[in-house]
């Protein structure tokens, strides 16, 4: 299996259930969802003109639309090798669930490495059963995609971006569509003060978790 990789870097997970955990981020290229507030728009297009050599996507200094194909075994060998210390892999994008992540996550699990997928929920999640799936549902985006029922059923965690009360109501409607009972984290969009207070109040009321994008407050990747 070959995956189009935009970048690989090691840092601290700043969002959701694993906030504060040392993590290696594996960012895949390609996303048709079209979120207006997206901070990785450079990952949207898999343009053949931007294909580079595999080593050129490791520890990239700034956002680039370039990408490189990496095989399953090459990725696992690299990320479990001496170059990296973290034992938590975050597969993100772009939209990682454009691709079948089963062989990749299975191999990581066999090497006792925890995998987490961060997805919009617009595509079925294909991965190993031991993988933690974070669905950050993107509703009403430019791409016009619906949330996949399978993604909601597979989610271990719903990390919902919030700017106003209607976003809470949209989440309630989504949760009503599934028999799954994932953990829920509310994430204020762009650290807006009003959105943050709305998330705090709702998390207290419902015993949910607040996700504050710790990495942005700390000014780290």
Whether 37 has a binding-site annotation, put simply, is yes
120 or 141: which leads in pLDDT: 120
Q: Tell me, what's the pLDDT at 139? A: 80
Tell me: is residue 71 an annotated ligand-binding position.
Answer: no
| Whole-Å CA distances, 147 to 24, 45, 144 | 27, 21, 10
The annotation status of 27 as a binding-site residue, yes or no, is yes
The mean pLDDT value for 180-187 works out to 95
Instruction: Using DSSP, state whether 16 is helix, strand or coil.
Output: helix
Residue 169 pLDDT level (bands cut at 50, 70, 90) = very high
Identify the pLDDT of residue 80: 97
31 assigned ligand-binding residue = yes
pLDDT (mean) for 59-69: 93
* Whether the predicted pLDDT of 120 surpasses 90: yes
Residue 151 lies in a domain: yes
Residue 87 lies in a domain: yes
What is the model's pLDDT at position 57?
A: 97
The reply to whether 168 falls in a domain is no
Q: Does 12 belong to an annotated binding site?
A: yes
Q: Is 203 annotated as a binding residue?
A: no
Specify if 186 maps to a domain: no
Residue 138 annotated in ligand binding = yes
Whether 196 has a pLDDT exceeding 80, the answer reads yes
* Per-residue model confidence (pLDDT) at position 121: 95
Would the annotation count 216 as a binding residue? no
- Position 183 in a domain: no
Confidence of residue 214 (pLDDT cuts 50, 70, 90): low
Q: Residue 9 and residue 86: Cα distance in Å, rounded?
A: 11
Q: Is residue 114 part of a domain?
A: yes
Overall average pLDDT of the 188-204 stretch: 89
As for how many domains the chain has, the answer is 1
Supply the mean pLDDT for the chain: 93
Residue 90, pLDDT above cutoff 80: yes
Tell whether 80 is in a known binding site: no
Q: Does 13 show up as a binding residue in the annotation?
A: yes
Looking at residue 216, what is its pLDDT? 58
Phi then psi for residue 64, to 5 deg, are -140, 145
Annotated binding residue 39: yes
pLDDT of residue 5: 98
How wide is the angle at C-alpha 85 spanned by C-alphas 80 and 15, nearest 5°? Answer: 100
E strands present in 136-196:
157-162, 183-188
**Residue 215: pLDDT above 70?**
no
Residue 50 belongs to domain with CATH number: 3.20.20.70
Contact 15, 187 (CB under 8 A): yes
pLDDT of residue 193 exceeding 60 = yes
More confident call, 194 vs 92: 92
Query: pTM for the whole thing?
Result: 0.93
- State the residue range of the domain holding 7: 2-161
Q: Given pLDDT bands bounded at 50, 70 and 90, which one contains residue 150?
A: very high
pLDDT of residue 219: 56
Return contacts of 64-68, CB within 8 angstroms, 24+ apart: 64/6, 64/7, 65/6, 66/6, 67/4, 67/5, 67/6, 67/29, 68/4, 68/5
């Amino acid at each position: 299996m070959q995956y189009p990789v935009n970048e690989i870097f090691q840092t601290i997970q700043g969002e959701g259930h694993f906030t504060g955990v040392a993590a290696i981020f594996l960012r895949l290229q390609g996303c048709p969802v079209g979120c207006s507030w997206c901070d990785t728009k450079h990952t949207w297009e898999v343009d053949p003109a931007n294909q580079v050599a595999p080593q050129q996507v490791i520890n990239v200094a700034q956002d680039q639309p370039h990408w490189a194909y990496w095989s399953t075994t090459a990725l696992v060998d690299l990320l479990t090798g001496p170059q990296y210390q973290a034992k938590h892999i975050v597969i993100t994008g772009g939209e990682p669930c454009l691709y079948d992540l089963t062989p990749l996550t299975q191999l990581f699990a066999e090497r006792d490495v925890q995998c987490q997928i961060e997805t919009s929920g617009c595509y079925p999640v294909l991965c190993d059963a031991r993988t933690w799936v974070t669905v950050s549902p993107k509703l009403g985006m430019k791409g016009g995609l619906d949330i996949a029922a399978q993604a909601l059923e597979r989610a271990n965690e719903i990390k919902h971006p919030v700017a106003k009360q209607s976003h809470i109501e949209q989440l309630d409607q989504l949760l009503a569509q599934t028999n799954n009972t994932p953990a829920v984290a509310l994430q204020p969009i762009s650290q807006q003060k009003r959105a943050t207070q709305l998330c705090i109040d709702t998390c207290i009321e419902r015993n949910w978790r607040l996700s504050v994008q710790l990495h942005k407050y700390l000014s780290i990747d």
